Amino acid sequence: MSETIKHQIRGLLKQHNAVLLAHNYMRDEVQEIADITGDSLGLSMEAAKTAADVIVFCGVHFMAESAAILSPGKKVLLPRPDAGCPMADMVTAAELEALKARHPGVPVVTYVNSSAEVKACSDICCTSANAIKVVQSLKEDQLIFVPDRNLGRWVAKFVPQKEFIFWEGFCPTHERMTVEAVLQKKAEHPDALFICHPESAPEVTALADHACSTSGMYDYCRTSPATRFIIGTEAGILYKLRLENPGKEFILASPALFCPNMKLTSLEDVLYSLQTLSPVVTVPEAIRLKAQAALDRMLAVPRD
């Protein structure tokens, strides 16, 4: 049955000149059929480069918004419109504007895991891969960091000369990974390296041999001479890690590392979305332009 659905999906993608994007945390079978897999912003940037007329984004709502921001001439479909992000929902544009009013002139650095409206109220965006360089690029000594307090505190360790005002948002999935769970896995697999996402709690990242973004995890595990890794991020990442590294072993740090929103999208949802060319995600032009400006400033920050 699933092979029939995959065949239908591929046919409709060709018919509609569409590209299928899947986030690293999606179900295995959705990642398997995708044209491009990756992190949220990387996917949106890749989609903007393609000649596709339609972008089918297998992810959560803020990711599809990012694609709509960067590809205003394309139709962006989100197969599961109910796939949200609790962390992104922890800050609204009105709340951020109120915080800015209390700290006039202080620049706002916003993690891409946020709504288009919040990005539009920000000075510059960041990802987990470039957050340190983005903060270092600011001339000001003080900054507001939203919405992820854990990522913000991790970045602050590398930029001690800056004063951070943290928004108290967090990723519930990464927050559920405890020190006790990690220590248990390390005890069971003493030869394994522990790698975690900086969205994890500070006491967890303190245990890590390496903390990095999902794209960083792929690079690190591929190039590391180690053969066993304890992975501290959402379980969906294991699909590609195992695919790319058949001679290595990957152990999930905790069974709690499962995001229900990331697992909502099924092959049936993708098929229906292509059959109906819906649901469409749009961003009002005034908000889109301001949000794109914050993303463009981020992209202008020099990389290694």
**Same domain membership, residue 293 and residue 162:** yes
Q: What is the pLDDT of residues 213-258, one digit of tens each?
A: 999 999 999 999 999 999 999 999 999 999 999 999 999 999 999 9
Neighbours of 246 (CB within 10 A): 6
Angle between helices 2-15 and 267-276 (to 10 degrees): 30
110 and 244 in a common domain: no
The pLDDT of residue 47 is above 90: no
In a shared domain, residues 103 and 133: yes
Chain position carrying tokens 């890794």: 229
Which pLDDT score, from 0 to 100, does residue 139 have? 97
Domain assignment present for residue 126? The answer is yes
Measured N-to-C along each axis, helices 40-49 and 61-70 cross at an angle, to the nearest 10 degrees, of 30
Q: What dihedral angle (degrees, nearest 10) is formed by the CA atoms of 295, 96, 178, 249?
A: -10
Query: Is residue 41 predicted with pLDDT exceeding 90?
Result: no
Quick one: CA dihedral 71, 73, 74, 77, positive or negative?
A: positive
Is residue 257 assigned to a domain?
Answer: no
Q: Please answer whether residues 19 and 52 qualify as being in contact, where contact means their C-beta atoms are separated by less than 8 angstroms.
A: yes
Please tell me whether residues 92 and 166 are part of one structural domain.
yes
Structural domain of residue 293, as residue ranges?
Answer: 88-170+287-299
What six digits make up the tokens of 143? 């900054």
Flag whether pLDDT at 207 surpasses 80: yes
Question: 133 and 65 share a domain?
Answer: no
Residue 295 CB neighbours (<10 A):
22
The domain total for the chain is 3
Give a yes or no: residue 25 inside a domain: yes
Q: Has residue 113 been placed in a domain?
A: yes
Whether residues 156 and 295 fall in one domain: yes
- In this structure, is residue 304 part of a structural domain? no
4 secondary structure, DSSP code: H
Residue with tokens 């059929």: 33
Domain assignment present for residue 115? The answer is yes
pTM, full prediction: 0.95
User: How confident is the model at residue 264, as a pLDDT?
Assistant: 98
Same domain, 293 and 152: yes
Q: Are residues 11 and 32 in the same domain?
A: yes
Alpha carbons 155 and 206: distance in angstroms, whole number = 13
Residue 133 lies in a domain: yes
- The region, left, alpha or beta by phi > 0 then psi within -120 to 50, assigned to residue 3 is alpha
Q: Using the structure block, give the residue that is written with the tokens 């469409």.
A: 280
Any domain includes 14: yes
The pLDDT confidence band at residue 261, using thresholds 50, 70 and 90, is very high
Beta-bridge partner residues of 98: none
Cis amide leading into 279 (omega within 30): yes
3-state SS class at 28 = helix
pLDDT at 87: 98
Q: Is residue 7 located within the same domain as residue 77?
A: yes
Does one domain contain both 161 and 197? no
One domain for residues 273 and 292: no
Q: 225: domain CATH number? A: 3.40.50.10800
161 and 185: one domain? no
Q: Residue 304: its pLDDT value, please?
A: 65
Average pLDDT, the chain: 96
* Minimum mean pLDDT range among 34-48, 99-113, 136-150, 158-172: 34-48
